[in-house]
Structure 1
Amino acid sequence: MAPTDAQRKARNKWLAEKVETLNIRVPKGEKSRIQAHAAACGESTNAFVCRAINEAIQRDKKL
């Protein structure tokens, strides 16, 4: 079932207020590998990428 206009408007408002978009490019074949790893860990691709970035930032602070 497609979202109603009101649902679409509410979603767009929430997205505009709460999140930012970050596009990344990966070599051919990496997208499916990243998605498969995220799924194997029980998380979305977005959640996995955010976690990986945050872990790298924390690790790099210790250098």
Structure 2
Amino acid sequence: MARPKKEDFNQIKYQNEFNKANYDRVEVNMPKGKKAIVKEAAAAAGQSVSEYINQAIDARMGLD
């Protein structure tokens, strides 16, 4: 008798569900070209763009 096929683990689905449960999304608009500058600055700091922006927000709000 064949065993029922177990659903394969879907990493993307797992990450999306984790993010929905634990994070809020915010869309940020900036002038053309500034995104590349922020991305380079984040990479130079060894951070993701999200980490870099969150750190800047916390510093501005005095939460650091």
In structure 1, distance between residues paired with 2:46 and 2:17 = 28
Alignment of 1:29 with 2:25, yes or no, is no
In structure 2, distance between residues paired with 1:48 and 1:41 = 8
Gaps of 5+ in 1: none
In structure 1, distance between residues paired with 2:60 and 2:15 = 31
In structure 2, distance between residues paired with 1:36 and 1:6 = 31
In structure 2, distance between residues paired with 1:55 and 1:20 = 19
In structure 2, distance between residues paired with 1:43 and 1:9 = 24
What is the number of equivalent residue pairs in this alignment? 56
Q: Partner of 1:39 in structure 2? A: 43
TM-score (norm 1): 0.77
Alignment of 1:58 with 2:62, yes or no, is yes
**Percent pairwise identity:** 25
Greater than 6 Å deviation, 4+ residue runs: none
> What's the CA shift for 1:7?
2.6
Gaps of 5+ in 2: 1-7
